[in-house]
Structure 1
Amino acid sequence: MPSIARPLRSVLYIPGSKPRALDKARGLPADAIIFDLEDAVIPEEKVAARATLAEALATGGYGNRMKIIRINGLDTEWGADDAKAAAKMGADAILLPKVDNPADLDALATFTGNIPLWAMMESPLGMLNAAAIAAHPKLQGMVMGTNDLAKELQTRPRADRLPMMTGLGLCVLAGKAYGIALIDGVYNAFKDDEGHRVECDQGRDMGFDGKTVIHPAQLDVANEAFSPSEAEVELARRQIAAFEECEATGQGVAVVDGKIVENLHVATARETLAKLDAINALSSE
């Protein structure tokens, strides 16, 4: 399946109930924003948060950042009304928490129509059903809910996230099979840049498109980790040049740094340069 063209390196959670936070987000270097009506909003403010968020989105000013609204679960007293309200706010997608199977997305679509859907993947059942969920015709992205998943798995914290690898891996396989966006879970210690960088690099190496962040201080690390490095860009350009030269002359096999360059390497190289172009276009706005 084709890779995701739109940069989604950093996906920032913003409480839908906080006007100051909603305003500040307009100037932050996040590729996408999750406007949260769920965990970031206390029960007493959930109803009012809908109007606060609707006003902020109507005012605009978020540029080309992807705008995603996370509603409360449809099994809560707020979920259905959240979905109805979110469907009128002009967001790019609506994110449903704790998706266990495709039927959960079907239920949401009865309120949201043709608006693209995203799914929080944060339960063992959801991970086991990742392929069926990813195949849903309205689904365009998956977000890993690693805190909830760790709780459900009854794991102990580990820097390598080994207890979660099976579930995360199933989601990566499903997302790649169906060509949807894949966003890694949050790193809770928002003042620990080095630990965050290690986890971002792990997520990037696994195949995630970006990482959810809970604090603006985490944006730069995520953006850097999920951007092509200078070395990757330089290698991509050399691979493409060597391959095209061999094609033009009809002689030999393309070799760069002692390694054969085949069609698949050139395809990856071109994806790398396309991603860089998309990032530069987003940053210039």
Structure 2
Amino acid sequence: MTQPPRTALFLPASNPRAIEKARTLDADMVILDLEDAVAPDAKADARTASVAAVAQGFGDRLVAIRVNGVGTADHAADLKAVAGSAAGWVVLPKAEDADACAAVAAATNKPLLAMIETPRGVLAAPAIAAAAGVAGLIAGTNDLRAELCIPPSASRDSLSASLQVIVLAARAGGAWAIDGVFNALADAAGLDAECRAGRALGFDGKSLIHPNQIAVANVAFGPTKEEVEDARALVEAFAGGAERFRDRMIEAMHVAQARDLLARVTH
């Protein structure tokens, strides 16, 4: 499977200027949004625009389209449009049922990124991550905060249990794990801290809502020079079995981790 994105930028499919600018940005993935970012009376035009935008291309960036949720008026039309598009992935909001996720993946013939945004979604996350066609989980932290009745002033620690379930489910299902968005657009230090905390939890990357967040998140979710040097040395030194390397014990598992890290260097 393609290396997971360090950065996944949401942008309204109804905004041609944002779409054009995205073609110049250093985001690993662009997610064209047909759901929350688009007004109800603009959804049909946004759907058409998303297909046209993907056909025009975004260079070497991964491209996904977020459809409206299961049971909404635009869901069926969205699936039909995505199925006929050149998008590489489909994103489903408020995923709560593994069978529904598999059905969306099958209907669009695209790997699916399921947004875990509700308590039901968190509890169903292991089954969703293991469902046919599901390629990753995205933490929908804003909606999840609201659904859990967490006060706006509460720290991110209030979501720790849910975030850990999402990562555990993704790893058990062989899927990507993408962290939720950071709302404070001018707080680069806060974004950096949240990205590094997300990486420490095991997330592969960060979903974003503004271009000025891309550079910070790319660095935070990319390997450091020290990590790259250590991984290369470890792979070269390993002779098989359990052995000592730089005053620590390593075995085949650590070599696999090092190779995974090195694979992201060429991301």
Question: TM class by shorter-chain length?
Answer: over 0.9
The Cα shift of 1:154 comes to 0.5
Match of 2:44 in 1: 47
Is residue 2:75 matched to residue 1:79?
A: yes
Match of 2:148 among 147, 153, 158: 153
Match of 1:283 in 2: none
Q: Which moved more, 1:142-151 or 1:167-176?
A: 167-176
Report if the CA contact (8 A) 2:102-2:132 is conserved: no
Matched residue type, 1:44: D
**Could you tell me the TM-score, scaled by structure 2's length?**
0.94
Match of 1:121 among 102, 116, 127: 116
Report if the CA contact (8 A) 2:116-2:137 is conserved: yes
* 1:26-175 map, 5 Å: 26-60=23-57, 62-109=58-105, 111-112=107-108, 114-157=109-152, 160-175=155-170
The Cα shift of 1:158 comes to 5.8
Matched residue type, 2:236: A
Identity of matched residues, %: 45
Match of 1:235 in 2: 230
Report if the CA contact (8 A) 1:242-1:254 is conserved: no
Aligned equivalents of 2:217, 2:136: Cα separation in 1: 18
Match of 2:243 in 1: 253
Match of 1:268 in 2: 257
Give 3-state SS (helix, strand or coil) of 1:141's partner: strand
Match of 2:5 in 1: 8
Matched residue type, 1:115: K
Aligned equivalents of 1:134, 1:226: Cα separation in 2: 22
Aligned equivalents of 2:4, 2:169: Cα separation in 1: 20
The Cα shift of 1:74 comes to 2.4
* Structure 2: 5+ residue stretches without partners: none
**Could you tell me the TM-score, scaled by structure 1's length?**
0.89
Aligned equivalents of 2:50, 2:245: Cα separation in 1: 54
Instruction: Kindly provide the CA deviation profile for residues 250-283 of structure 1, in whole angstroms up to 9, marking residues without a partner as x.
Output: 9x93330x22222222221122112212x2xxxx
Matched residue type, 1:97: P
Aligned equivalents of 2:2, 2:113: Cα separation in 1: 17
The Cα shift of 1:242 comes to 3.0
Matched residue type, 1:274: A
Aligned equivalents of 2:161, 2:102: Cα separation in 1: 26
Report if the CA contact (8 A) 1:197-1:221 is conserved: yes
* 1:193-208 map, 5 Å: 193-208=188-203
Aligned equivalents of 2:122, 2:252: Cα separation in 1: 33
Aligned equivalents of 2:93, 2:256: Cα separation in 1: 35
Give 3-state SS (helix, strand or coil) of 1:218's partner: helix
Aligned equivalents of 1:262, 1:100: Cα separation in 2: 38
Match of 1:183 in 2: 178
Larger Rg: 1
Aligned equivalents of 2:49, 2:178: Cα separation in 1: 26
The Cα shift of 1:178 comes to 1.4
Aligned length: 267
Matched residue type, 2:264: K
Aligned equivalents of 2:59, 2:154: Cα separation in 1: 35
The Cα shift of 1:109 comes to 4.2
Report if the CA contact (8 A) 1:5-1:275 is conserved: no
Matched residue type, 2:213: Q
Aligned equivalents of 2:248, 2:29: Cα separation in 1: 37
Aligned equivalents of 1:211, 1:22: Cα separation in 2: 19
Report if the CA contact (8 A) 1:243-1:254 is conserved: no
Give 3-state SS (helix, strand or coil) of 1:34's partner: strand
Give 3-state SS (helix, strand or coil) of 1:129's partner: helix
* Structure 1: 5+ residue stretches without partners: 280-285
